[in-house]
Amino acid sequence: MSTSLSYLQIVLSLCLLFCFSLPFCVKSDELQILLNLKSALNKSSTPNVLDSWEAANSVCSFNGITCNAEGSVKKIELSSQKLRGVLPLDSICQLQSLDKLSLGYNLLYGAITKDLSNCVKLQYLDLGNNLFTGSFPDISALSELQYLHLNGSGFSGTFPWKSLENMTNLVVLSLGDNPFDRTPFPDEILKLKKLNWLYLANCSIEGKIPPAIGDLTDLIDLELQDNYLSGEIPVEIGKLHKLWQLELYRNLLTGKLPVGFRNLTNLEYFDASENDLEGDISEVGYLSNLVSLQLFENQFTGEVPAELGEFKKLVNLSLYTNMLTGPLPQKIGSWAEFDFIDVSQNFLTGPIPPDMCKKGTMRGLFMLQNRFTGEIPATYASCTTLKWFSVSNNSLSGTVPTGIWGLPKVTMIDISLNQFEGPITSDIKNAKAIDKLLADHNMLSGKIPQEIWELKSLSILNLGHNGLSGSIF
Return the SS3 of 428.
helix
Q: How confident is the model at residue 24 (pLDDT cuts 50, 70, 90)?
A: very low
Mean per-residue pLDDT of the chain? 93
Of 20-29, 272-281, 309-318, 439-448, the poorest mean pLDDT is in 20-29
pLDDT at 20 over 60: no
With H, G, I as helix, E, B as strand and everything else as coil, classify residue 410. coil
List, by residue range, all CATH 3.80.10.10 domains of the chain: 25-178, 302-472
DSSP letters spanning 17-57? HHHHHHHHHHHHHHHHHHHHHHHHTTT-SSTTTTTT--TTS
User: What 8-state DSSP symbol labels residue 369?
Assistant: S
pLDDT at residue 265 above 60?
yes
Res. 45 pLDDT band, cuts 50 70 90: low
As a dihedral over the C-alpha atoms of residue 260, residue 266, residue 271, residue 277, rounded to 10 degrees, the angle is: 10
Mean pLDDT calculated for residue range 341-347: 98
Length of the chain: 473
Q: Quote the pLDDT of residue 471.
A: 79
Strand partners, 247: 223, 271
Share above pLDDT 70 across residues of the chain, in percent, rounded to a whole number: 93
How far apart (Å, rounded) are the C-alpha atoms in residues 277 and 282?
Answer: 13
What is the reported pLDDT for 6?
A: 53
CATH number (3.80.10.10, 3.40.50.11540, 3.40.50.720, 3.40.30.10) of 302-472 reads 3.80.10.10
The closest alpha carbon to 44, from 75, 73, 79, belongs to: 79
Could you tell me the fold of the domain covering 25-178?
Answer: 3.80.10
pLDDT in tens, 64-106: 999 999 999 999 999 999 999 999 999 999 999 999 999 999 9
With 50 as the cut, is the pLDDT of residue 345 above it? yes
The residue among 87, 75, 9, 84 whose CA lies nearest residue 46 is 84
pLDDT of residue 198: 98
CB of 83 within 8 A of CB of 46?
yes
Does pLDDT of 55 surpass 50? yes
Q: Which long-range contacts (C-beta less than 8 Å, at least 24 apart) are formed by 424-432?
A: 424/400, 424/448, 424/449, 424/452, 424/463, 424/468, 425/449, 426/451, 427/402, 427/403, 428/452, 428/455, 429/454, 429/455, 430/406, 431/405, 431/406, 431/407, 431/455, 432/408, 432/456, 432/457
Confidence band of 44 (pLDDT split at 50, 70, 90): low
Tell me the mean pLDDT in the region 286-304: 98
Which DSSP state fits 180?
B
Whether 10 has a pLDDT exceeding 70, the answer reads no
Contact 144, 169 (CB under 8 A): yes
Q: What is d(CA 149, CA 178) in angstroms, rounded to the nearest whole number?
A: 12
Using pLDDT thresholds of 50, 70 and 90, give the confidence band for residue 13.
very low
Weakest-pLDDT range from 36-45, 230-239, 358-367: 36-45
State mean pLDDT over 165-184: 97
Please check the confidence at residue 21 and state whether its pLDDT lies above 50. no
Mean pLDDT, residues 6-12: 46
Tell me the residue type at 67: C
Query: For residues 102, 108, 114 and 119, what is the CA-based torsion angle, rounded to 10 degrees?
Result: -20
**Closest Cα to residue 246, out of 230, 233, 259?**
233
The residues, any chain, with a CB within 8 Å of residue 434's CB and separated by 6 or more, are: 410, 411, 412, 413, 428, 455, 457, 458
pLDDT at 375 over 90: yes
